[in-house]
């Protein structure tokens, strides 16, 4: 059995030891080495050539964000951010995802989390996904300029068509490529479930909003979507549409081990939008979204799945495709144009 080499980076010797113990509990992994700051990490990375890296963000000398940029320039490998920064959904953690971080794990109790073992299953699951992921999709980091919006909100028209998007691991990068390319004249609303921790989706929404023509915002109770709106489900809560198309939330148990669930969002959207829905399943592990696209297709809607070539993790798109209810399998860069075409064609 192949063993994957992991480089552990954290300025705390205690945290490095806890992280190593977690990683070594899975026989798929060996420790390539450890580093105590960003400068040390870059040198060890060049020397040791690990298959993946666990990286803290808040470190002396060179912080984790700069370290991540350098790693991606040298030789892209999956980098799992394990940091207290992610707990607040900070803009720095979001920047890490833009720069190519594979995913994020929150330290449960701040920078020194002696209870990190609580995150053992999540860390090992994400590392196992990471070493099997499609790193070609991380090779280019695109800087997206912020735009000035000209929204005539007084003329806003309630949306009668919906683009319902499911995304998980690798999704933030995909969404940053897709949503900014949709024009402000889109005759539909966009509803997104991106699997993210609670408290993180607000910063993510604000970031996408700053570079998009659409009006992007985190979900709130009683929201009614207009054409050109793009709503992102709150982390940690299921987002649903009631029969009048009004947004509600609940704290029901995770579905397919996730909350929010794209399936729950998609299935509930049918109550109001009926067959006027375009389902989109992007990169991610698992099968969230496959039930949703099946019902969307049954009701007369149209579905898109991200291709294996552009997916970081092909689990969710593959599950949707295997359901037999996907109409178009497209590379990420081709999805925005197809969404606009289908919205315009939909009656």
Whether residue 88 is predicted with pLDDT greater than 60 in this model: the reply is: no
By annotation, the residues acting in catalysis are 168, 195, 288
Backbone angles phi, psi at 122, to 5 degrees: -65, -45
**221-258 tens-digit pLDDT:** 999 999 999 999 999 999 999 999 999 999 999 999 99
User: What percent of the chain has pLDDT above 90?
Assistant: 76
Answer yes or no: are the C-beta atoms of 170 and 312 closer than 8 Å.
Answer: yes
- Consecutive H or E run containing 238: strand 238-241
Residue 304 token pair? 């898109």
Helix boundaries (H) for the chain: 13-24, 38-48, 64-74, 91-98, 120-131, 171-178, 201-210, 262-273, 290-298, 315-322, 335-345
- Strand-strand pairing, 238-241 and 247-250: antiparallel
Q: What is the pLDDT of residues 115-144, one digit of tens each?
A: 999 999 999 999 999 998 887 665 555 556
Of 82-86, 146-150, 334-338, the range with the highest mean pLDDT is: 334-338
Measured between alpha carbons, how far is 115 from 108 in angstroms, rounded to an integer? 7
pLDDT band per the 50, 70, 90 thresholds, residue 154: very low
What is the per-residue pLDDT for 144?
61
pLDDT of residue 229: 97
Determine the pLDDT at residue 61. Answer: 82
How far is residue 142's CA from residue 192's CA, in Å, rounded to a whole number? 22
If you average pLDDT over residues 275-296, what whole number do you get? 97
% of the chain residues with pLDDT over 70: 92
Q: What is the mean pLDDT of residues 11-19?
A: 95
pLDDT tens digits, one per residue of 329-338: 999 999 999 9
pLDDT band at residue 90 under the 50/70/90 scheme: low
Domains and CATH numbers, the chain: 4-138 (3.40.50.2300), 153-345 (3.40.50.180)
Residue with tokens 């039930």: 291
Give 153 or 52, the one with higher predicted confidence: 52
- Kindly give, in sequence order, each residue whose CB lies less than 8 Å from that of residue 302, ignoring residues fewer than 6 positions away: 277, 278, 279, 296, 327, 328, 342, 346
pLDDT at residue 53 is higher than 80: yes
């Amino acid at each position: 059995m192949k063993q994957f080499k992991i480089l552990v980076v954290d300025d705390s010797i205690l945290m490095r030891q806890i992280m190593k113990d977690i990683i070594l509990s899975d026989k798929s992994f060996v420790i390539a080495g450890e580093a105590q700051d960003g400068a040390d990490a870059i040198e060890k990375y060049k020397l040791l050539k690990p298959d993946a890296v666990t990286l803290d963000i808040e470190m002396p000398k060179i912080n984790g964000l700069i370290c991540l940029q350098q790693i991606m320039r040298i030789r892209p490998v999956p980098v799992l951010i394990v940091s207290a920064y992610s707990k607040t959904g900070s803009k720095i953690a979001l920047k890490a995802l833009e720069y190519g971080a594979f995913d994020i794990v929150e330290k449960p109790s701040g920078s020194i989390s002696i209870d990190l073992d609580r995150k053992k299953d999540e860390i090992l699951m994400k590392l196992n996904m990471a070493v099997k992921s499609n790193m070609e999709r991380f090779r280019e980091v695109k800087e997206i300029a912020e735009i000035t919006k000209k929204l005539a909100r007084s003329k806003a028209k309630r949306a009668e068509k919906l683009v319902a998007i499911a995304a998980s691991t690798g999704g933030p990068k995909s969404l940053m490529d897709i949503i900014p390319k949709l024009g402000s004249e889109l005759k539909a609303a966009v509803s997104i479930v991106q699997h993210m921790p609670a408290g993180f989706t607000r910063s993510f929404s604000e970031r996408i909003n700053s570079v998009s023509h659409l009006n992007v915002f985190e979900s709130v109770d009683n929201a009614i979507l207009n054409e050109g709106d793009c709503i992102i489900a709150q982390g940690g809560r299921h987002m649903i549409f009631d029969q009048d198309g009004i947004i509600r939330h609940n704290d029901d148990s995770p579905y397919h081990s996730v909350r929010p669930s794209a399936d729950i969002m998609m299935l509930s959207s049918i109550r109001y939008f009926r067959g006027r829905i375009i389902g989109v399943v992007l990169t991610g592990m698992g099968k969230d979204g496959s039930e949703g696209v099946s019902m969307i297709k049954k009701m007369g809607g149209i579905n898109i799945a991200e291709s294996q070539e552009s997916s970081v993790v092909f689990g969710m798109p593959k599950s949707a495709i295997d359901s037999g209810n996907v109409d178009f399998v497209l590379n990420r860069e081709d999805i925005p144009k197809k969404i606009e075409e289908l919205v315009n064609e939909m009656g």
